[in-house]
Structure 1
Amino acid sequence: MKMQLKAGVAALTLAAATSFAADIRIDGFPDYDSQLNLITPSLTQHNVEMLMNNHGDHHNKLKTNLATGSGAGDVVLIDVGFIGSFVNAGGFVDLTDFYKDIAGNYADYAVQAGKGNDGKQYAVPVDLGPGVMYFRRDYMEDMGFDLDEVMTDWDTYLAYGEELKKKDILLIGNASAIAVAYYRFNVGKGEGLYFDVDGNSLVTSDRFVRAFELAKAVRDGGMDGNISEWTEDWYAGFREGKFATQMSGAWLLGHLQNWMAPETSGNWGVSHLPDGTYGTWGGSYLAIPQQAKNVSAAWDLIEHMISAENQLAGFKNIAAFPAHTGTYSDASFDEPIEFLRGQKARALWADVAANINPVTPMNGDLIAESLVNVALDKVLNDGVDIEKALSDAEKQIKRRVR
C-alpha cells in the first residue's frame, strides 16, 4: 500500500514483558506503526518491537539483510511491488505448513502472488489495493456527464477528457497513471506483468503498446498536467480541483480525507476502471527471514496481524483494505462514506478484490518495471516512438535479467 512516508527510524516496545515471552522484531514502513501500536499490545505472549523506516530505505535495507544473512527483523513487511523479486531471490522461511489451513480465507490472487516459482508460500498478504477510479463528482454528474457512459471503455474515458479540456479542466494529473493501469490490469492468464511463464519479456506485446498509446493520446491532447505523483504539486492538484480523475488503490481515500485534501469532502466518488477492468494497485505482505531467531513466535505475530479482527482494525485505522475475505460481510462495508458524498464504496472495493486474477511474480520484475518507466518517460516527454522505446527497454531487460 502506498503511504505518506515518514523520515527516520523508530523502535518501540509494544507489549509488556513476561518471563516466558519471546522477543520479536518487525521491520516495516509507515503507516503500519499506527496499526501496530493499536493491535500488538493484545499479543501478550510476546514482546514485540518495531523498526520503521521510510518505504524506499526499508526495502533497500531488507535487500542487503537478505543478501548478507543478517540484520533483518523476525517479521518483515514487503510492498507488493517488491514481492516477486524478493520471494524468488530466496532468504525467507517456507510458510506453507503454517498457512495452508487458513489460506482459503484470503484473496486468492494475493495468496498466489506470495508464492515462489517453486509453488511454496514465502509471504502472506496483509492488505490489498483494489484498483479503482476516483473522480470529482462536481466534474461528473454535477456537469451532466453519465459515469457509466464515461467508464464504458478507455476511448470513452479519453473522450470525457476532451470535453473537460474545453472547460479548462484536466482529466488526470499525469498520463503515466493511465499506461500503468492498462498494462497492469490486462495481464493474460498465467502471465507475469513483464514476463511470460518461461521468463521471456512481454514488454513489446500489444498490452504495453496500447497502454503507451493511451497515455500518449492524453499527453498530446493536453489532457494531463504532467504533474509527478506524491509531490506537493500533486497534492495541490487534489485540493484545488485541477484534475477530474485519479486511478489508484482503494487506500487513496485515507490520504485524501486525512491529510491531502480534507476540504474537498463531498466532491469525490469512486468507480470501477474503464472497460470493467479489475486489478490491484498496491498491497503489502508479511514474511519471515530465514535468519529469524524464533520462527514460531514470528508466525504468532503474523497470524495476529492477519486475523479478521485486526484486518478490520487496519481498514478503519489506516485504510488498509483487508486481505481476509471473511471481513467483507462486516456491517461497516455497507456504511456510507461521507467524504465520497455518502457512497457505499467499500462494497465496490470488495467486488474488485473478489474478481482480480492472479499475476505470477517474477524475479526480474523490479528491473523490468524500472526500464518500462524510463521508456514511458521517453515517449511522453521526449517524443520517442513507442515501439522503439519498448524495443530498447526489452533489449536492456534481456541483458540485465538472467
Structure 2
Amino acid sequence: MRLVVRSLWSASLRCGLGLSLGLALAAPAAAQRTLTVAAFPAVDEIVRAALPAWKRLHPDVEVKVVSRELNDHHTAMITALSTAVHLPDVMALEVGYLGRFAQGAGLLDLTPAPYDVRRFESRFVPYAFQQASTPTGAVLAVPTDIGPGTLLYRQDLLAKAGLTEADITRSWEGYVQAGVKLKAATGAYLMAHARDMKDILIRTGIQPGEGIYFDKDSKPLVTSPRFVRSFELARAVRRQQLDARVTAWSSDWAEGFKRGGIATQISGAWLAGHLNNWLAPSTRGMWRAAQLPEGAFAAYGGTFFAMPRQGEQANRALAWEFIQMMTMDRQQQLAAFKSQDAFPALLETHADPFLDEPIAFLGGQTARRDWREAASHVKAVRVHKQDAFAREVIDTELDKVLERGKDIATALADAQRLLQLRARR
C-alpha cells in the first residue's frame, strides 16, 4: 500500500496536481450518522445486545443508548416531548406510563404510510398492540415484551404447612386463608405487602373499553366492586399479619425471598428470572409458578418502542427500521427472552421450543407454557393520561385504611372525588 501511494504522489507532482491529490488523500471518511435510543433497565441491555446485528445492516450508523432509571427515564421523555429539546430518535416506554403519552401529541402516529403499522397487528399479542392504540385510531408505539401475570410460591413452605397449589389458587379468599395456615406452620408471610393484593384485584374483572381507574369517558371507577373487594382483602391480609410490610425492589423485599420469609409473590412472569438471576438464586428449585386464583388473568408490565413526533426527520426511516428489528425480528425477540426474561409480544416466537423447556429454578416446571396461555387470555386495558396519578391516590387511600383504620367506602369515595377533579386535565 505504501508503494502505491508513493507512486501516485510522485506522478501527481509530475503532473502539477500534488495539492489536489494531497487534499483527497487527507480527506476524512464520511461522518457516521447517529441514532439515539432512550431506554431504562433492562431494556437498555436488550438494545445493546442487538447492536452487533444492527451494525451488520448499517455499519455507518452509530447507535447511542441513553439509559436512566425507570421513573427518571419517563420524566425525561415527558420533558423532551413537551419542549422538543434533547429528543431521542427512539424511546422505550413502559405500559404503566403509556397513558401519559398516548393522550398527548408528542408521539408519532405510526398508522399512515410509510409505517402502516396496522399491517403488522396480527403478529402481536392482541392486548399488547391494542394498548398502544388511541380512541381516534392512532397507534403510537409497538410492543416488544409483555408481563403475563403469575403466582409464584415456595413449594417447600406450602408442603410444610400441609397446603397444595389448589389451596392458594381456588379463590382469593382461600388464598388469604391459606396464608393463615402458612404463617402458623412456617412463620413465613404470605406476601410482601398487602398492597400487592390490591394491585392484582383491581386488574381483574375489567369490562371491555374500561381502564383500571377510568372508563372511556374519563369517569373514575374506583368505587366499583373490584376496588371495594381489593381493599377488603388487602385489609384482611394486614389484620391477620400476613404481609411483611416491605415494598417491591427494596433490600428487605429481596431478603425476604432469600431467607424464605415471603412465601408467595404475584407479579409478571419476568420475576421468576429476576429471582433466579440476582434476587434469590440460592432458592433455586424451591419455587413453583401457578395461574392466578379464581382463573383470573392479568398483565404486569410491558414495554413499547415509539418515536417522537418532532424528532429528527433525517433519522426517521432508520428509527422505524430499528423499531422493527427490536419488535418484529424473531431472533431478537427470543434473544431478549432468553437473556432478560422479557416475554415476547411477537406471536411467532410463542411456538419456539424454548417455551417447552423445563425451568430449573421452578423445579423443572414448563411454566412458560402457562404464561403463554395466560397471555392469550389477557384483555386490553384502556390507558389514561392520569393513570399514574390515580395509582398514587389509591395507594394513599389504602395506606389510610391499613394504617389508620379509615373506612373503606369513605376512602374510595374520597379518591373518586379527587380523580373526578383531575381526570380531564
TM-score bucket (shorter structure): over 0.9
Separation (CA, whole Å) in 1 of partners of 2:167 and 2:393: 35
Of 257, 260, 282, the residue aligned with 2:301 is 282
| Structure 1 or 2: more helix by fraction | 2
Aligned-residue offset at 1:100: 1.7
Three-state SS of the structure 2 residue aligned to 1:185 is coil
Aligned-residue offset at 1:142: 5.4
Corresponding residue of 2:18:
none
| AA aligned opposite 1:287 | A
Q: Conserved in 2, the CA contact under 8 Å of 1:88 and 1:117? A: no
Of 292, 317, 328, the residue aligned with 1:296 is 317
Separation (CA, whole Å) in 2 of partners of 1:351 and 1:314: 20
Separation (CA, whole Å) in 2 of partners of 1:389 and 1:264: 39
| AA aligned opposite 1:68 | T
Aligned-residue offset at 1:116: 1.9
1:277-323 deviation digits (Å, cap 9, x = unpaired): 10100111110001221221111110010122111110011111100
Three-state SS of the structure 2 residue aligned to 1:100 is helix
Q: Conserved in 2, the CA contact under 8 Å of 1:141 and 1:147? A: no
Of 141, 153, 156, the residue aligned with 1:138 is 156
Greater C-alpha Rg: 2
Aligned-residue offset at 1:141: 3.9
Separation (CA, whole Å) in 2 of partners of 1:233 and 1:159: 24
1:396 and 2:418 aligned: yes
- For the aligned residue pairs, the C-alpha RMSD in angstroms reads 1.4
Greater CA drift, 134-143 or 222-231:
134-143
Aligned-residue offset at 1:35: 1.3
Aligned-residue offset at 1:140: 2.2
1:42 and 2:63 aligned: no
Q: How does 1:151-190 map to 2 (within 5 A)?
A: 151-167=169-185, 168-190=187-209
Three-state SS of the structure 2 residue aligned to 1:379 is helix
Aligned-residue offset at 1:164: 1.1
Of 303, 310, 316, the residue aligned with 2:332 is 310
Q: Conserved in 2, the CA contact under 8 Å of 1:70 and 1:291? A: no
Separation (CA, whole Å) in 1 of partners of 2:258 and 2:183: 19
Corresponding residue of 2:287:
268
Could you state the TM-score of these two structures normalised by the residue count of structure 1? Answer: 0.93
Q: Percent identity?
A: 37
1:209 and 2:231 aligned: no
Q: Conserved in 2, the CA contact under 8 Å of 1:130 and 1:249? A: yes
Corresponding residue of 1:342:
364
Greater CA drift, 285-294 or 327-336:
285-294
Three-state SS of the structure 2 residue aligned to 1:397 is helix
- Number of residue pairs aligned between Structure 1 and Structure 2: 385
Three-state SS of the structure 1 residue aligned to 2:267 is strand
Corresponding residue of 1:15:
none
1:306-356 deviation digits (Å, cap 9, x = unpaired): 122111110011111100111111011010011111011111111111110
Three-state SS of the structure 2 residue aligned to 1:363 is coil
Separation (CA, whole Å) in 2 of partners of 1:84 and 1:37: 27
Separation (CA, whole Å) in 2 of partners of 1:227 and 1:80: 24
Separation (CA, whole Å) in 2 of partners of 1:51 and 1:177: 31
Three-state SS of the structure 2 residue aligned to 1:102 is helix
Of 273, 277, 294, the residue aligned with 1:254 is 273
Corresponding residue of 2:38:
27
Aligned-residue offset at 1:19: 5.0
1:150 and 2:168 aligned: yes
| AA aligned opposite 1:72 | L
1:70 and 2:77 aligned: no
1:378 and 2:400 aligned: yes
Separation (CA, whole Å) in 2 of partners of 1:381 and 1:186: 27
Could you state the TM-score of these two structures normalised by the residue count of structure 2? Answer: 0.88
Q: Conserved in 2, the CA contact under 8 Å of 1:367 and 1:401? A: no
Corresponding residue of 1:321:
343
Three-state SS of the structure 2 residue aligned to 1:286 is strand
1:119-165 deviation digits (Å, cap 9, x = unpaired): 21001111100011000010224543221232011111111011112
Q: Conserved in 1, the CA contact under 8 Å of 2:161 and 2:181? A: no
Corresponding residue of 1:355:
377
Of 109, 120, 127, the residue aligned with 2:145 is 127
Aligned-residue offset at 1:23: 2.3
1:367-402 deviation digits (Å, cap 9, x = unpaired): 211111111111112211111111111111112221
Corresponding residue of 1:7:
none
Which 4+ stretches in 1 moved above 2 angstroms?
18-23, 140-144
Corresponding residue of 2:95:
80
Three-state SS of the structure 1 residue aligned to 2:350 is helix
1:12-53 deviation digits (Å, cap 9, x = unpaired): xxxxxx959642110011112221221122113232111001
Of 71, 86, 111, the residue aligned with 1:96 is 111
Q: Conserved in 1, the CA contact under 8 Å of 2:48 and 2:65? A: no
Separation (CA, whole Å) in 2 of partners of 1:19 and 1:310: 30
Separation (CA, whole Å) in 1 of partners of 2:282 and 2:153: 15
Separation (CA, whole Å) in 2 of partners of 1:92 and 1:20: 29
Three-state SS of the structure 2 residue aligned to 1:78 is strand
Three-state SS of the structure 1 residue aligned to 2:300 is strand
Three-state SS of the structure 2 residue aligned to 1:84 is helix
Aligned-residue offset at 1:233: 0.6
Separation (CA, whole Å) in 2 of partners of 1:302 and 1:70: 21
